[in-house]
Structure 1
Amino acid sequence: MYSRRIWLATKIRPLRPVLRSQIRCINPFLPVDILDEVTNDDENTIREKRKLKRLQDLDEKIKNKKDGPINEYQTPQEEERNRERQKKENRQENWERFGSFLFRCFETAGITFSSLAVLALSGYMYHKIYNSQVLSKINSAFDEGDPTLQLSMYKRTDNNKYWVARPQQLLLDDIVNGKIKGRYFLLVGEKGTGKFSAILQSIRSVKGLNCTVVDGHSDPEIFRIRLGQALNFGYHEDYIGSLFSIRGPRDTTALLDIERAFKKLEMVALKRVKSAEEGVQVKPLIVVINNTHLIKDDEEGNKLIELLQQKAESLSGSGLATMIFNSDDYWVYERMKQLSTRLEVINFNDLGREDTIKVLKAARMKHYNVYLPLETANKIYDLIGGRPQHLALVSANKDPLLTSHQIIDREKTWFLNQCGLLGGDMDDDVMESGKLSTSAMLLMRELVQMDREKFSLPLQNDDKIDHVLPSLPLWRARQVMTRPDYIQLFDNLNIFTIDCNSRVHADSVPMMRAFHEIASQPGFDELLNETIERVSEIESLGRTRELVAKDLLLGGHYTVQEDKNNKLNIKLHGGTRDLLESANEDDPIKMEDFSDGAHKKWWSKRMSHYRDSYKPEEVAELGLTRNPEEQNSSVELSKS
């Protein structure tokens, strides 16, 4: 009996590790379970203890046997007791296994939950630190220094020795210094009047503290990138949370990103106010939107303008920030006028005669170290006025008078290329171009007529006066053009301009001189009338259907007779072919060419005084001139 038990034990026990299900700790966050070795050691120890206990129980049973030698067979009662004892041992062993299983489950759950807790805490801490870093970076964008490298890019304001302060400069200085709060500003003026230079000069005076500059663009995506660069904001594109998603770093539109950037700006401004000491007034942040007119006047552009204006209203109302919009075109003011409550418009004009002379003398001394005579400076102002853009070009060239004439010729060519008249032979497919050119020429002729009427008035005592270009109200200009929609296009083309008072005038003094020269050419009025009539004919053909007998219009006539067979015979009389040939002999009306040497005639005429150059013919016949010296200078220029 004993040997049989030994044999069964040796056969069954090796199979128990195979039959027994192995429970392993699975940790999804760690590649290797660090408790595997400890668990295996405990399991082997328990197995050895159980084996030793069974052997000891068997030895004790053998020793306590009183019936002599061990019998190989047992009685039914002994077998029943052995089976009961075996069941009890098996039950106890199962409970031990189940307890070990529960312990391992709790152990694995604890490791998993602790790993998740560490991961969640790390993510939360990263999120808080990242947002704090974003606000810190935006705050650093308004520290003292060069905002977005604008001051270093525009070197023309480096030397204050040659800087001429404008009347608007003091107002801009107060805005940038934070003395004026509760409003936002729109700078309106022609291209090249020095608006952005004045803003940079004010920013330079405070060394870029609390200031940043954003350049506008027609594409909202590019404007979004420039705004992020100016505010030092990356739109969360470097956020590590995007690694756990399949989508890209940004799944939204440009307007939503611009809204997020301004939200962060508001948080930075509020943080600056809260961190300030009690009783200390915090200066508002200055955000300059340059070239606002580059935003397209369409649905997306209007949404962007509306968003920027809403932010300007809220930030200026709370005193947290002041926004300055810089625009060359009038349509931006029309869009902002509808929703504005705190908007203030600042208009920039050309320099006067005294400032122009000061600028020219300083620029010539800077470039060539040469003193510019007062007479030459006055002549340059008479030719091109006081536009800083033109003055910078003239002062940088060796021959300033020649450059002044070239500027006028360039403006004249630009106007004719954009709005040249096509005459009576205009094709019906280009009727839109004909309407555009006739509208521009009608407005141009009206301004020239107003200027000529002003020249016919008695002369004032002071001969050296500033240029005052003739202007019309916007509604009156639309009446003259017979179209209300083209004026914005002309403003974009820098032919006509509209100031903040809704007055329409020539874009510059060279452009006004080009108007006079074009209107003074022989055959201009006839060519304009022919183009207007041709446009009316094309519109009439589009609206009605007409039957026209050209032979009758050319002077011929028909005779209709009935013969004996009741047939009609129609004959033409009047020499239609001769009439056509005689009509074709007349040369078409052409405007005078001013290139290939013909422009020198205008150059000599320009050297006289502005009023004398373009005064009406009936006044010019009286011989009212300024002085004989100017006539002599015109003769010398014509000879050269």
Structure 2
Amino acid sequence: MHVLRPISLGRRRSRQRYHIDILPRYRQPRFCCIRYASQLFGPFGNPLGTDEEDEPQRPRSSDTETHSRLFDTFYKMFESAATTFASIAVLGLAGYSYHRYYKRLVLQKIENAFQPGDPVLELAALGKSATGSSTHIAGGEDGKDQNWILRPEQDKIDAIVNGTDKGKYHLIIGEKGTGKSSMLLEAMRKVDGEGISMFEAHADLEIFRIRLGKALDYEYHEDYIGSLFSIRGPRDTTALLDIERAFNKLEKLAMQRRKRRGGPLILIMNCTHLIRDDDDGRNLLELMQQRAEQWAASNLLTMVFNSDDYWVYERLKRYATRMEVVPVLDLPKDRAIAALEKYRRRYFPEQTLSSEILSQVYDQVGGRLAFLNRVAKSSNMIHTCEKIREAEKTWFLNKCGILGKEMDDDVMDQQKYASAAMVLARALVKAQNQMEASYDPREGHKLPQIPLYKARQIMTRADFIQSYDHDNIFTIDSRANVRADSVPMMNAFREICSEPGFDDFLEATLDRISAIESLNRTKELTLKDLWIEQRGEIRGKYLAVMKDSKGRDTGTLEFAIKPNENPEDDDTG
């Protein structure tokens, strides 16, 4: 490409000189103009109004190459900077857009977890269909379950789960097998799980975190694409911090949902007693209780804790202001017999049971639904009742069997635990013998109970009762009364304590424990070099000075050899 450009413009001479510059083909015309202006007004060009002969001529080839290299450098710098800025801007805009989208996606996933239908209900339905016992029988009145055992606490549970009972959080406490979880599932079924999420607690905080995330459909930002650019793992924090983040997201969703629908969400934590009673477990309970108090005060969310052990209530009661306790006990005799008849018709529809057999079954297992359901499945119900009592007795003896006066001192700690349980069991049996009526023909069993502080006095230990409650040997109700965990366990207590020689065997065990403790508290002092012979006599003594805590002398104690009054007894020679 050939371009004519003027070399200089002179005032005295009218003619103009043009220099033919051969430019590369890739040059654009606008850059030619820029180059033309730079040569006119740059440091190497001639200014307007001057003649070419007024200034000395410089080599033009070197000037052109220098200007060309400088221009190319600046152009490449500008092009690189513009490209970098555009790339950063596009990347930043895409990252910010994805971040906003991800936050909305997290809330949408959590909201989907509270939609009608719940995995817990589906698992319960699959379990019942697998065992051949359908929860809902076709042809029932108004779609009700003809085999469902209606407890008196069911209306209260229904009001909690459907959101009618607001402004509080609840602790459902009772022995294992009384039907607490079944009532919660039945209440969830009535509303098809809408606005409800349920999960199982665990002793390990990491597993607890995963189960909570599964119930809320929350991934704790582990599916965030930004973690692909990080060398560290998807989560660089503790389980408690992740649980706090999940609760923050849940609170934000509850506030949005309240504006649209107005009802509170329901979060149910089953098996709360599985959380360990250590620093991590107590911190977790404290975290959840703080959230439960805040959400109950604002009607955003209702938390429900389901527990078998008393220590959860004892821990939550310390800071509870809006907590309501729902105790679940064994059924009375009339309801228990009705439940047994329903269970029996489910498994053996062709058989009819007499009232005498039903009463015998209740006398042996009481009103515990888990035991009644197990007995109803058996062809020989009385034999199954005996097996249940024998299993409870074996469990108690394996955990708390005593060894007598011949026990070794290495097992003293375990024997302290076992003997304290035996002492408490004997006290309950004596209390039952002293009761005017331990059995009501209409109400059924009345298990003897002892206040918690008195039970600790009887055992002379305050730390064992929680372990007994956790091992399902004794139970502590919401009013801090201690009794046997079940009717079969109480029958096992009576059978063990009525064995011949039981009291003597227990007293011998307690005496042996006392002797070992006394021996451990006893210090042996050995005195040496007392046998000193001086002038044909054996002499030598120690003089000990006794002082009080302030350093004042309180007396002296002398250790000396007693002379042998009968020389014939001397074995020296």
If the TM-score is normalised by the length of the shorter chain, which range does it land in? 0.7 to 0.9
Equivalent pair of 2:110/2:218 in contact (CA under 8 Å): yes
Corresponding residue number in structure 1 for 2:449: 471
* 2:472 counterpart SS class: coil
Corresponding residue number in structure 2 for 1:235: 220
Note if 1:117 corresponds to 2:117.
no
Within-5 A mapping of 1:48-63: none
Corresponding residue number in structure 1 for 2:77: 105
Corresponding residue number in structure 1 for 2:245: 260
Equivalent pair of 2:396/2:473 in contact (CA under 8 Å): yes
Within-5 A mapping of 1:72-91: 84-87=56-59, 90-91=62-63
**Cα gap change, 1:86 to 1:44, in 2 (>3 Å):** farther
Output the amino acid matched with 2:84: T
Note if 1:134 corresponds to 2:119.
no
Q: Which residue of 387, 390, 393 corresponds with 1:406?
A: 387
Q: Which residue of 294, 299, 305 corresponds with 2:279?
A: 299
Equivalent pair of 1:287/1:322 in contact (CA under 8 Å): yes
Return the offset for 1:304.
1.0
Equivalent pair of 1:157/1:197 in contact (CA under 8 Å): no
Output the amino acid matched with 1:128: R
Equivalent pair of 1:214/1:289 in contact (CA under 8 Å): yes
Equivalent pair of 1:562/1:569 in contact (CA under 8 Å): no
* 1:164 counterpart SS class: coil
In 2, distance between residues paired with 1:490 and 1:157? 36
* 1:180 counterpart SS class: coil
Note if 1:184 corresponds to 2:169.
yes
Query: CA offsets per residue over residues 379-422 of structure 1, 9 Å max, x none?
Result: 10011101011111101111111000110011111111111111
Corresponding residue number in structure 1 for 2:567: 563
Q: Which residue of 493, 498, 507 corresponds with 1:515?
A: 493
* 1:532 counterpart SS class: helix
Query: CA offsets per residue over residues 272-292 of structure 1, 9 Å max, x none?
Result: 123x2xxxx611111000001
Q: Which residue of 181, 189, 197 corresponds with 1:212?
A: 197
* 2:269 counterpart SS class: strand
In 2, distance between residues paired with 1:540 and 1:92? 110
Q: Which residue of 158, 161, 174 corresponds with 2:135?
A: 158
In 1, distance between residues paired with 2:324 and 2:352? 41
Corresponding residue number in structure 1 for 2:43: none
Within-5 A mapping of 1:54-453: 84-87=56-59, 90-91=62-63, 94-148=66-120, 149-152=122-125, 154-155=127-128, 158-159=135-136, 160-274=145-259, 276=260, 282-369=262-349, 370-453=351-434
**Cα gap change, 1:326 to 1:353, in 2 (>3 Å):** same
**Cα gap change, 1:466 to 1:217, in 2 (>3 Å):** same
Output the amino acid matched with 2:249: K
In 2, distance between residues paired with 1:535 and 1:458? 36
Equivalent pair of 1:146/1:152 in contact (CA under 8 Å): no
Q: Which runs of 4+ in 1 moved over 6 A?
A: 43-47, 80-83
Structure 1 unmatched runs, 5+? 1-16, 18-38, 51-79, 548-559, 571-640
Equivalent pair of 2:334/2:442 in contact (CA under 8 Å): no
Output the amino acid matched with 1:192: G
* 1:338 counterpart SS class: helix
Corresponding residue number in structure 2 for 1:537: 515
Q: Which has the higher strand share?
A: 2
In 1, distance between residues paired with 2:489 and 2:299? 42
**Cα gap change, 1:150 to 1:83, in 2 (>3 Å):** same
Output the amino acid matched with 1:158: T
Return the offset for 1:437.
1.5
In 2, distance between residues paired with 1:459 and 1:447? 12
* 1:323 counterpart SS class: strand
Corresponding residue number in structure 1 for 2:468: 490
Return the offset for 1:83.
9.9
Equivalent pair of 1:216/1:292 in contact (CA under 8 Å): yes
* 2:163 counterpart SS class: coil
**Cα gap change, 1:214 to 1:259, in 2 (>3 Å):** same
Within-5 A mapping of 1:17-32: none
Query: CA offsets per residue over residues 485-505 of structure 1, 9 Å max, x none?
Result: 100011011000000000000
Q: Report the more deviating stretch, 350-359 or 397-406.
A: 350-359
Equivalent pair of 2:258/2:264 in contact (CA under 8 Å): no
In 1, distance between residues paired with 2:73 and 2:400? 92
In 2, distance between residues paired with 1:387 and 1:40? 98
**Cα gap change, 1:305 to 1:395, in 2 (>3 Å):** same
Equivalent pair of 1:561/1:569 in contact (CA under 8 Å): no
**Cα gap change, 1:393 to 1:218, in 2 (>3 Å):** same
In 2, distance between residues paired with 1:450 and 1:475? 16
In 2, distance between residues paired with 1:311 and 1:406? 45
In 1, distance between residues paired with 2:255 and 2:25? 61
Query: CA offsets per residue over residues 96-141 of structure 1, 9 Å max, x none?
Result: 5434433332222222211111111000000000110010000000
**Cα gap change, 1:540 to 1:114, in 2 (>3 Å):** same
Q: How many pairs were matched up? A: 484
Equivalent pair of 2:438/2:445 in contact (CA under 8 Å): no
Equivalent pair of 1:157/1:163 in contact (CA under 8 Å): no
In 2, distance between residues paired with 1:191 and 1:381? 18
Query: CA offsets per residue over residues 75-99 of structure 1, 9 Å max, x none?
Result: xxxxx96994444664465345434
In 2, distance between residues paired with 1:109 and 1:371? 92
**Cα gap change, 1:46 to 1:292, in 2 (>3 Å):** closer
Query: CA offsets per residue over residues 470-523 of structure 1, 9 Å max, x none?
Result: 000000000111111100011011000000000000000000000111111000
**Cα gap change, 1:447 to 1:458, in 2 (>3 Å):** closer
CA-based RMSD of the aligned residues comes to 2.8
Query: CA offsets per residue over residues 264-322 of structure 1, 9 Å max, x none?
Result: 00111111123x2xxxx611111000001001111111111111111111111111100
**Cα gap change, 1:464 to 1:174, in 2 (>3 Å):** closer
In 1, distance between residues paired with 2:405 and 2:64? 116
* 1:161 counterpart SS class: coil
**Cα gap change, 1:109 to 1:563, in 2 (>3 Å):** closer
TM-score of the superposition, structure 2-length normalised?
0.80
Larger Rg: 1 or 2? 1
Equivalent pair of 2:389/2:491 in contact (CA under 8 Å): yes
Output the amino acid matched with 1:563: P
Query: CA offsets per residue over residues 513-566 of structure 1, 9 Å max, x none?
Result: 00111111000000011001001000000111479xxxxxxxxxxxx76237xx
**Cα gap change, 1:167 to 1:458, in 2 (>3 Å):** closer
In 2, distance between residues paired with 1:128 and 1:253? 25
Output the amino acid matched with 1:524: F
In 1, distance between residues paired with 2:415 and 2:329? 32
Within-5 A mapping of 1:30-41: 41=26
In 1, distance between residues paired with 2:437 and 2:147? 38
Equivalent pair of 1:288/1:324 in contact (CA under 8 Å): yes
In 1, distance between residues paired with 2:189 and 2:264? 17
